[in-house]
Structure 1
Amino acid sequence: MSTASFLNDNFLLQSTLAEELYHEYAKQLPIIDYHSHLPPETIAADQNFENITQLWLAGDHYKWRAQRVLGIEEYFITGKASDKEKFQKWAACVPYTLRNPLYHWTHMELKNPFGFDGLLSGENADEVYDFTGSQLKSAACKPRSLLTHFNVEMVGTTDDPLSDLNEHKKIAADNFHIKVLPSFRPDKVFNISHGDVYRAYIRALAEISNVEISDLDSLLQALQQRIDYFHANGCRISDHGLSYMPIMVFSPTELNKTFQEVMNGIDTQASDDQDAFTGYILSELCKMYHAKGWVQQFHLGALRNNNTRKLSELGPDTGYDSIGDFQQGTRLSAFFNFLEGSDKLAKTVLYNLNPADNECFAAMTGNFQSEGIIGKIQFGSGWWFLDQLQGMTNQMNSLSNIGLISCFIGMLTDSRSFLSYSRHEYFRRLLCNLFAEDIKRGLLPNDIKWTGKIIKDICYYNAKNYFLL
């Protein structure tokens, strides 16, 4: 069966107005993917993928979670089954994902770039595996060619402070026409309660920064060295994954004592120590970002590693995270106000994972904008569990009602897959349909030229100007 009946050129576009806005103003714009988890080593090596499983299923915990709901054995998900067997199992699951975003994404990603116009199922799994496999042998399906195919202008990877960034250096030396820039993700620096794992990390940080770390001052010196190094290699963005913003009540003297005790082998299990330590170190890092003119990102609201038995078997980031119901507003306000008080608040993108907090996040951004900067504090696009039709629509409606969607920097992939650029197409179609429906209902003037200009800004130009690309 063909997907043409629903996944056609006007998919998600529910009026001629929406069609005009998408095809004339949004469709052809380049993509600025300012936050992704694409592996820079894969872009640097630019080798063909062995098969569709390696390109599409490896590391994709969205698909893993769906398979577990359907009772598929772990052997065929993250286990030792062959790549073909894993694909066959996933294909058999796809018809049961109706109304889940995976159903749309799966068929969009098979249609573009592979040109497969059918509906994936267990019955045609072998055919699709071979059909995509033959294409993956060509130069057109190498990592850099795929980025070019999707009209990507910039990719922001996610990189630990310990990274030597050698892959980014190689990509730059190759004069690849797409910017592949590192992003600074220092989450492991905060984990003072992680015992030997934390001590080993700090020792590695000391080695790569060539700074002997003996106290908080020297820890911050080492982090400044890494920020300087990242900046010299094109980094202009930081990122942080937190359940909620840390507390801003702390004593640096007491935290210094706690840090030294931890480094001497005396573990702390106190959540207050962890929270205060994160608050102090993160606020100091944010001052460094401001001095460099970076953009800082905060991904908030995840409740991670819910299934401890599976965590011990499979490790983190394997599909056992969830939406948390944390209180966000008070801590967001206190953290931003602390930095604003000394005029050290950098451009900031906030991502919310709990849809109940959309209005809270949208309202918070308005408290800390600045003269001369359009949309300095951004309410970022729907993230993780919310980067789907309803989640993205809700985020855009909250932003429209409480902030200015005209200043929005738009979509990002936040993905490890080179096929996930269909999400930008998905977002653009939803955006155009959203504006078109308001025009049809008489809520906006029927000014296609001006509305089209706003859509172009959201899809491309706002991000280009925001990140100074």
Structure 2
Amino acid sequence: MTAQHVTEFPTAGSAQTTLTTTTTTTTRAGDPEHWTLHPDRALPADPVTRPLAREIYAATKDLPIVSMHGHVDAQVLDENPLFGDPTELLIIPDHYLVRMIVSQGTSPDGVAHMGGAPLDPASPITPRTDHRAIWRTFCENWHLFRGTPTRYWMEHELVEVFGVHQRPSAETADAIYDHLSEVLTTDAYRPRALFDRFNIEVLATTDSASSDLAHHASLAAQGWGDKVVPTFRPDPLLHLDHAGWAADIAALGAASGIDVVSYATFLAALRQRRQAFIAAGARATDHGHLLADTTPLSDAEASRIFDLALGGAPVDAVAAQAFSGHMLFQMAAMSAEDGLVMQLHPGVLRNHDRAMLGTFGADKGYDVPVAVEYTRALRPLLEAFGHHPGFRIIVFTIDETVYSRELAPMAGVYPAMKLGAPWWFLDSPDGMRRFRDTATETAGFYNTTGFVDDTRAFASIPARHDLSRRIDAGYLARLVAEHRLDLDEAVETAVDLAYNLPLAAYAPRALSTPGSEPHVDH
């Protein structure tokens, strides 16, 4: 049912302002009335800033998407298959969905593995393979996502992308599943068709250092080389206590053609792989360490620790952490040489439940934030490269207590450093607002790099970018309403945040000098 609610607000200069809002509700399956989304969702509620926000958002809502940090598999876009069933597309890759349902007591075998055999053959858990049953579990638990960004993203996907007009519930689960299954058999819902429909200009994947980049080469041969670019992610190689480290080193040697028998050959192999990524169109590296430490070791000490690990000797946690911090410094040095943008996002204790990791694998929602210190940790790196004309670093965090105290002050003075968007658990309406409130007054808008969606869930990309553009429109509208910005400045800033800044932040070095950034006028 649809109802109008009229509320009167007093405003300066007039007796009152009348605000009319429309809400739409959906009842049972088969109801002729459709579930729709409010056009002003996530915009400010008050009647002074909402019209301003609408005007600002209108300038950005149709801009191309620049998705420079994410986890969509290049193979999907290269082979362009049909996506499969709704569970495979919308539930399997989205650990936000899984973790919420599991948190309410649903057995992990019902949602966490999503089919197939357990990774651990000795596991007593038999993963559920009935994807329709998994979908029903999700729909039955739709109420759990109220107030979360997951709710916003998923309802945008269902309504705007897939034309679903019934709110998920136990009663509507099968009808929605059938509708989605039908549309997913059509060419209009293949990956490349959606890529174009979503108006994605460039999408960066995240790839292991030893990846052969074959799918990127195939995409480039088909004219997609500028649309889908790889990102160099060497994390497992830089952590000597990583369970699969020896195998990863062997893979690095095979991919680079360099026999990794020493610390020196290790660095040479990493340099070779970085060049291979650059040749494939890479713009950036990606580093997800637990801590932000960048203290360099002497070559002798780094060699000693590396040789211990290479020889199979146990490396204690202190030495392993020292080596990983040293390698972040080395990655910065290499970025200063080759121009790849360095992305750093520490502060997540991965795979908090080790039994879940052994049974179901990584990326099932058991990653938990920890506090991170940045001021002293990044000092060695920034002292060495913070003013280097060829070096660029983008720092993300999910410890939002450090925005105003540490990250914004550093980004506000070091030319090489920029602040990344609110990420992961902070990728939410209020998280984005808090980011603007705490970072802008020190770092400004132009020491930030625009939004990144950081998602494996391909169909959620436009929803996530849309939410970011709405929140920025609301923030800028408040500055206009408070006479801290003129409206034309707010519109220009919104366009820069949505499009120009991410393009400039990740531009190949030859294009990243001041004044050479691609620019969209509003």
The reply to whether TM is greater than 0.5 is yes
Report the residue type matching 1:69 in the other structure.
S
Q: Offset at 1:258?
A: 2.3
| 1:18/1:436 contact within 8 Å kept | yes
Inter-partner Cα distance in structure 2 for 1:417 and 1:326 = 27
Look up the SS of the partner of 1:67 in the other structure. helix
Match of 1:18 in 2: 53
Match of 2:494 in 1: 455
Structure ranking higher on relative contact order (CA contacts 8 Å, 6+ apart):
1
Q: Offset at 1:249?
A: 4.8
Q: CA RMSD in A?
A: 1.9
Report the residue type matching 2:479 in the other structure.
D
Report the residue type matching 2:364 in the other structure.
T
Match of 1:413 in 2: 453
Match of 1:217 in 2: 264
- TM-score of the superposed pair, with normalisation by structure 2: 0.84
Match of 2:467 in 1: 426
Q: 1:27 to 1:174 in 2, by over 3 A?
A: same
Equivalence map 1:107-256=2 (5 Å): 107-176=155-224, 179-194=227-242, 197-256=244-303
Q: Offset at 1:124?
A: 0.5
| 1:38/1:417 contact within 8 Å kept | yes
Look up the SS of the partner of 1:238 in the other structure. strand
Inter-partner Cα distance in structure 1 for 2:225 and 2:236 = 32
Match of 2:398 in 1: 353
Aligned: 1:438 with 2:485 = no
- TM-score of the superposed pair, with normalisation by structure 1: 0.93
Higher helix proportion? 1
Look up the SS of the partner of 1:212 in the other structure. coil
Aligned: 1:36 with 2:66 = no
Q: Offset at 1:296?
A: 0.8
Inter-partner Cα distance in structure 1 for 2:382 and 2:446 = 23
Inter-partner Cα distance in structure 2 for 1:194 and 1:179 = 33
Inter-partner Cα distance in structure 1 for 2:506 and 2:310 = 37
| 2:219/2:225 contact within 8 Å kept | no
| 1:432/1:455 contact within 8 Å kept | yes
The number of residue pairs the alignment matches comes to: 457
Aligned: 1:278 with 2:345 = no
Inter-partner Cα distance in structure 2 for 1:330 and 1:21 = 39
Q: Offset at 1:178?
A: 6.2
| 1:407/1:458 contact within 8 Å kept | no
Aligned: 1:70 with 2:104 = yes
Inter-partner Cα distance in structure 2 for 1:50 and 1:57 = 12
Inter-partner Cα distance in structure 1 for 2:484 and 2:54 = 17
Q: Offset at 1:246?
A: 2.5
Q: Deviations over 1:109-141 (max 9, x none)?
A: 111211223321121011111111111111111
Unaligned runs of 5+ in 1: 370-375
Match of 1:307 among 335, 353, 366: 353
Q: Percent identity?
A: 27
Inter-partner Cα distance in structure 2 for 1:327 and 1:406 = 24
Report the residue type matching 1:81 in the other structure.
T
Inter-partner Cα distance in structure 1 for 2:255 and 2:386 = 32
Inter-partner Cα distance in structure 2 for 1:181 and 1:249 = 30
| 2:95/2:363 contact within 8 Å kept | yes
Aligned: 1:289 with 2:342 = no
Q: Which consecutive segments of 4 or more residues in structure 1 shift more than 6 A?
A: none
Report the residue type matching 2:493 in the other structure.
I
Q: 1:31 to 1:259 in 2, by over 3 A?
A: same
